[in-house]
Amino acid sequence: MRFYTGDEAGLIKVVDIDHKVSLLEAQSKAAKKVRADAKAKINAKPGEKVEIADNILSGVEVNNFSGSVSKERTVQQMITGSYEDEQAFFVARKNGDIEALSKATGQSLYVYSEPDFTENISVKHKGKYINGRNYVGLGAGKEGFVSCSNMGEVRFQRFEDANSAGMMKLPVGVVKMRSHKDKFTLFAAGGHEQELSIWDAETACSGDSYLEPVSEPLFRSQNVEDDWLGLRVPVWITDMQFLDANTTNPQMAVSTGHKHIRIYDTKAQRRPVHSWEIGKNPILHTLASHVKPELFISDNLGNMQQLDLRNGKIVGSYKGIAGAVADMALSEDGKKVAEVGLDRFLRVYEADGMRRMLHRAYIKQRVTAVVWDWDVKDIDQVDIDRQETEDIWESMETLGKKPNKRKAKEVV
C-alpha cells in the first residue's frame, strides 16, 4: 500500500508499506536491531566509530516525493486530481501558492500565487483576532480549481487563462470548505457563526475582486431550535462531507465544535434531519465512507471513532493515537482506514472487526494531509496463484455434452 503525505515543513512524502509485514513483526525486528546496535556501541574499541542507521520499522519506506524544507510552504490542503490529462496532486500552501504536482515525477506542473496572501492582518471576529490567512478548502477539476481562505475569500481559477478568475466573499471566520468530488465547482462552507451554505462557483463568483456573491446559495441551513432554557444554540461548523453523488440536492454530514454530527437533506428542509451529540470534545475532522453509510470522525484530543449514519451510534473506536488527527483516508475496498496528525505518525487500522492497528510509519514532521494511492494494489502470492489458475481454466475449451447411447426400453 502507498500513501502520500503533506506536512508542516512543506514536504510531500511517499510512504510505501508492505502489507504482508505485520506491525508486531516489524516492532520485534526493530527491537532486535536496537539491542544489536547498543551491543555494538558497547563493544566498540576506543576511537572506533559505530554507524547506527535510522530505526525504521521493517516493511516501511518513507521518501521525499517533492518539495524542500520551508515553514512558509506548509501544506494546508492536499487533494488528488488531473492536470492536462496527467494525474496530479493539488496542494494549497501557507505562502498562498496553489500548486499541481505530477503524480509520476513529483515535478511542478502548475503554480498560482494568491496576491497579498501573507500580508499581516488583524481582524477581530467573535471576540478573537485573526492574524493571518489560511487555506481552509480546495477543490480541483480538469478546467481549474476552487479555493477558500479563513477570511472567506473564494477564488474560481481556470488553468487555461490566469486572467479568467471568478471571485466572491463569504463572511470572515470560515473554518472549512469542501468541494463535491463529481463537480468541483459545487462547494459547501461553514464556520464560526456561519451556517452551512452550498454554492456553485460558476454562477456565484464574478469579477477580479472579492465582493459579495452575484447569486444566492443553492442551500443555506437554519440553526436548530433553541435549547431547553430558550437560549440560542451557537453555530460552530468544523467540517462537512457530501454523502451522495447528487449535485442538485445533495445530502450533507456536518461536524461541529459543540460535539454534534448533523445530517442535512437539502431537498427536504433547512434544519438538520438528524442531530447527534458525540463524545465530550469538539469534533474537528470527518471522512465519509464510500462503501457503507458510515462516517469517521476525530476530535482535538486524538480520539478517532466510526459512526453509523443510520442511527447515530458509535460502532468502533481507534486506539494508540497520541495527538490531534489532521486528516484521514480510506482504502478502495473500505476495509482499512489511515490517519495522520500532530504526533508525526501515519497509522493504518482495520475498519471493521477489532479495528486493530495494522501498520505504522514515522514521518518526522507534523503531518497535515494524507492521500491513499488506490492505484497500488496489495496482492498476495495466494491471490496471484488463484488468478493464474482461473486464467488457465478460462482458456480451456469446453467440450460438448456426450450423447446418451443407452436406448430407451420399448414399452409393450
DSSP 3-state helix, strand, coil percentages of the chain (rounded to 5)? Answer: 10, 40, 45
Residue 118: how many other CB atoms lie within 10 Å? 14
| 3-state class (DSSP) for residue 161 | coil
Walk along the chain (412 residues) and give the pLDDT tens digit of each residue. Answer: 999 999 999 999 999 999 888 777 776 766 667 677 677 777 777 777 766 656 567 688 999 999 899 999 999 999 999 999 899 999 999 999 999 999 999 999 999 999 889 998 889 888 888 999 999 999 999 999 999 999 999 999 999 877 778 999 999 999 999 999 999 999 999 999 999 999 999 999 988 889 999 999 999 999 999 888 999 999 999 999 999 999 999 999 999 999 999 999 999 999 999 999 998 999 999 999 999 999 999 999 999 999 999 999 999 999 999 989 999 999 999 999 999 999 999 999 999 989 999 999 999 999 999 999 999 987 655 565 666 677 777 777 766 655 555 555 554 4
CA distance 80 to 63: 19
Question: Which cell goes with 285?
Answer: 475532522
CA distance 343 to 321: 8
Residue 289: partners with Cβ closer than 8 Å, 6 or more residues away: 295, 296, 330, 334, 351
Express each pLDDT in 262-283 by its tens digit. 999 999 999 999 999 998 999 9
CA distance 98 to 118: 14
pTM recorded for the entire structure: 0.86
The strand ranges marked E within 55-143 are 60-66, 75-83, 86-93, 97-102, 108-113, 123-125, 128-130, 135-140
Cα angle for residues 6, 87, 296 (degrees, 5° grid) = 50
Is CATH 2.40.10.480 correct for 1-44+51-71+278-387? Answer: yes
- Ordered by start, the domain boundaries in the chain are 1-44+51-71+278-387, 74-232
> What is the CATH T-level fold of the domain 74-232, as seen in this structure?
Methylamine Dehydrogenase; Chain H (2.130.10)
